[in-house]
Amino acid sequence: VSNSKLLRSLFYFVASLSLFATFVQAQLIPASSFFERSAVDEIKISPDGSHIAITVSGDEESSLIIINLTSGKFVASFDAPGYQKIGNFYWVNEERIVFSTLLVRGGLDIPFPIGLIYALNIDNTRKYQLVSLTRDSGVFFISNLIADDPDHIRVIRQQVRRRSMALGRPDSFLLDVYRRPGRSSDNLSNRVSSPLRSGNLYSDSSGYPRVAAGKNDSNTFDVSFLYETDWIKIESFLRVDNRPLKYFDFVGFNSRNSQFYYIGVGEQGVRGLYLYDHQLRSNELLFQHPSFDIDREAIIFASDKITILGVKFVGDVFEQYYFGDHPEIQLHQSLDAAFPGEMMRITSSTLDGAKAVVGVFGPKRWGDFFLLDTASLRLEPIMNRSDLLLPELMAEVSPFAIRATDGLVVHGYITKPKEASGPVPMIVIPHGGPIGVRDSLLFNREAQFFANHGFAVLQINFRGSGGYGVPFEESGYREWGLGIIDDITQATNWAIQTDIADQDKICIYGSSFGAYAAFTSVVREPDLYRCAIGYAGVYDLTKMDRSDIPWQLGEDSYLEEAVGVNEGDLRAQSPVYNADKINVPILIAHGGQDRRAPPFHARDMREALEDEGKEVEWLYESAEGHGFYSTENNVNFYNEILAFLNKHLK
C-alpha cells in the first residue's frame, strides 16, 4: 500500500465532507472506486495515546503502520510476506506491538491463520518473528495480553493433524515479546495444557488460563474450569433445560475472577449473554433478544476491557442495549446519538481512558475512524476506508420481512437507486454459506455499486441464515435446492408486488453458495428471471466432498448434516444435471486456484449448458482462488457483470 494512498485518506476532516456534500449530485461511480482495496482495515491507539497503529491492505501486500500523533509522521512499519495479511494486533505496552499474519487465498475466502507471531517497536527496531514453526512445533495464536506484565503475552500452541488438517490439543504459554525464539523455544514458559483434545483455552482477567472449551465427537461442547490445580467439567451447569450444549463462545471473566461471561443458546434457541458463577455452579441469563442472536463481537466493554456495559448488534437495524449505570455508558450513548442509524464502536482506548479510537459504520458508510477526547467528546477524523465512496453518494438501504410459503418469517434488505421512482430493473443477490451466514445493514459494496448504476438490489436472509437463532439456522439443513430457493422466489415476488422491481427486468447473481442458488433458481423458476450470474460457484452437490470443506468445517459431518447424502436428491438439486431447464443467458466467473469450489464445477456447468445449446459467457482467472483478490481482476469482473446486466435488463 503506497503512503500516498494512505495520506490521501489521513486527516480527512468533517468540514471537508460537509463542504463536498453541498455539491453532491447523483453520479455514476466506476467499478474501480468500489472495488479497490480499502486504505485501512483497523486502527488502535497506544496505551499512552502518543501513537496509532493502522493495518492497511493492497493487492500484493498488507502492512502495519505506526504513526506519531504529535508529528503526524510514519515512524515504523511491517510489510507481511506475499499473500499474507496482517491479522490481530495488540499494543503490549506503549512502545511495542505484537501481531499475527493470515494466509489469503481468494477474495471470498476467510483469511486462514498461518500460526506466526511478530513484534516491532515504535521506532522501527526489534522487528522480528517471535515463534519458530517447525514440522513438530505446531502453530501459534495470540491468546491475550497480561495487564500487569508488559513484557509477556499469552499464546496458544496447537498441533496440526496431518490427515484432517484439524487443530489438536491447545497448550497455553507465556511468550516473551522482546526475545527471539531459540532452537528450544526458550522465549516460551509457564505451560498450561487443556484437558480437552481440541478447542481453545481462555484466560481470566489476570491473564491465566482458566477455561477450556471444545467440540466433542457428538458435535456438542465440553467445557472445563481450572479450580486451583484441577480441571472440573462444567458443561452440565451451562445447559439450558438440560439440553446438550451445542454452542459456547467465551467472552471474559469479571474483575474478581469468580464468574465468567459467555454466549449461549437460550430456551427459544436464540443466542444470548450468560454469566457463570463457579462457586454457585449456576448460570444466569443477562441478555437475550427475542428474535436476533448476539455474538462476542456484540459485547460493549468499558475502558478497563473487563466490565461489560451492554450489547450492540445488527438485527433488522442497528440495536444497542446498556446495562446498569456505569459512568461510561453516557459516553457511548452520546456517541450513538451523534451517528443515528449507524454502528458506532470504540475500537481501542488509552490506559487512562482519556483518548479512544472510534469507528463508525453504516449502510452508506464503509467505515470512518475518529480520535475521541472522552472528556470533551471532541471527535477528530483520522481516516476513512474510502475517500471516494462518500455516504452522500450512496443509496438508501431498507430492511423488510416476509412470510414464506410454509409460514416461516424471513428477513432481508432492499437497496434502491437514488431518485428511483416506480419499478426498476432489479438484481437478486443470495448470500454465500449458506448455513450461519447472513446479509446485514452494514455497507455492502456490491449492492451500492449496482444501485449506483440504476438497479435495485434484493438481499434475502433465507432459512439457514445466521443471526436469527439456532432453529432458523437448522431449518436450512438439506434445503439447499428446496426451501431456500422457495424463500428467494417468495422475496423476489414480493419485490414485484410492491412495485420495487420491474417484473420483466430481474437478474439473479450470487457467489459461492449464492451462485448455486442463482442457477437453481432459474431451473426452478424459468419465467421469473431474465439472466443469471454465477461466481466461484458450486454446481454439483454430488461432488461437494472434493473441496476443502470437509477439513475446514469438521470432517464430513457438515456436508452430511447441511447438504445430505442421498445421491438421487443431490443430483436432482444440482444445476449441472438440470442444464436443459435453464433458458436464460448465463455468465460464469471462476478462479483456477479455487479450493472451496474447485474449477471443475464451473467447467462442468459450462459444458453442460453448451451441450444444450445455451448462451454462456465465461470469465476465468487461472491464478485466482475462491473469489478474485486482485483489484484489476475485480474491476474487470464487475465491469463484465455491468455490461451483461445492461445487455439483458435495459
**C-alpha cell of residue 492:** 423476489
CB of 461 closer than 8 Å to CB of 544:
no
Average confidence score pLDDT of the chain: 90
Tell whether the model's pLDDT for residue 352 goes beyond 70: yes
pLDDT for res 167: 80
CA distance 457 to 426: 6
Q: Give SS3 for 349.
A: strand
Domains and CATH numbers, the chain: 298-386 (no CATH), 396-649 (3.40.50.1820)
> Residue 342: in which H helix or E strand, if any?
none
pLDDT single digits (tens) 626-646: 999 889 999 999 999 999 999
Instruction: Write the Ramachandran bin of 22: left for phi over 0, alpha for psi from -120 to 50, otherwise beta.
Output: alpha
pLDDT for res 24: 47
pLDDT for res 556: 52
Tell whether the model's pLDDT for residue 79 goes beyond 50: yes
Tell whether the model's pLDDT for residue 14 goes beyond 80: no
Distance of CA 407 to the CA centre of its chain: 30
Distance of CA 3 to the CA centre of its chain: 27
The neighbour count for residue 404, using CB atoms within 10 Å, is 17
Instruction: Using DSSP bridges, classify how beta strands 409-415 and 456-461 pair: parallel, antiparallel or unpaired.
Output: antiparallel
Residue with cell 436432482: 572
Tell whether the model's pLDDT for residue 549 goes beyond 80: no
Tell whether the model's pLDDT for residue 184 goes beyond 70: no
CB of 509 closer than 8 Å to CB of 535:
yes
Tell whether the model's pLDDT for residue 469 goes beyond 70: yes
Interacting residues of 212 by C-beta distance below 8 A, sequence separation 6+ = 170, 194, 195, 196, 199, 200, 201, 202, 222, 223, 224, 226, 231
Distance of CA 359 to the CA centre of its chain: 16
* Predicted structure pTM score: 0.92
Segment 286-303 shows an average pLDDT of 97
pLDDT single digits (tens) 400-457: 999 999 999 999 999 999 988 899 999 999 999 999 999 999 999 999 999 999 999 9
**C-alpha cell of residue 59:** 493487492
pLDDT for res 9: 41
pLDDT for res 550: 46
Q: If you ran DSSP here, which 8-state letter would residue 560 be given?
A: I
CB of 253 closer than 8 Å to CB of 306:
yes
**C-alpha cell of residue 561:** 448434516
CA distance 231 to 226: 4
Instruction: Using DSSP bridges, classify how beta strands 139-145 and 128-129 pair: parallel, antiparallel or unpaired.
Output: unpaired
Q: At 242, phi and psi to the nearest 5?
A: 60, 25
CA distance 401 to 390: 28
Q: At 299, phi and psi to the nearest 5?
A: -75, 135
pLDDT for res 1: 40
Tell whether the model's pLDDT for residue 187 goes beyond 70: yes
pLDDT for res 105: 72
Dihedral sign of CA atoms 363, 364, 366, 367 in order? negative
CA distance 288 to 31: 41
Q: How far is CA 166 from CA 94, 160, 513, 643, in A?
A: 36, 6, 23, 43
Q: Give SS3 for 495.
A: helix
pLDDT for res 323: 95
Could you tell me where the DSSP H helices lie in 423-482? 445-452, 470-474
**C-alpha cell of residue 371:** 480520535
Q: Cβ-count burial of 495 within 10 angstroms (0-12 exposed, 13-18 middle, 19+ buried)?
A: buried
Half-sphere exposure at residue 7, Cβ-oriented, CA atoms within 13 angstroms:
6
Q: How far is CA 150 from CA 29, 93, 174, 340, in A?
A: 47, 5, 12, 38
Q: Give SS3 for 322.
A: strand
- What helix, strand, coil percent values describe the chain, rounded to 5? 20, 35, 45
pLDDT for res 183: 58
Segment 297-321 shows an average pLDDT of 96
pLDDT single digits (tens) 566-603: 889 999 999 999 999 999 999 999 999 998 899 999 99
Tell whether the model's pLDDT for residue 15 goes beyond 60: no
CA distance 548 to 92: 35
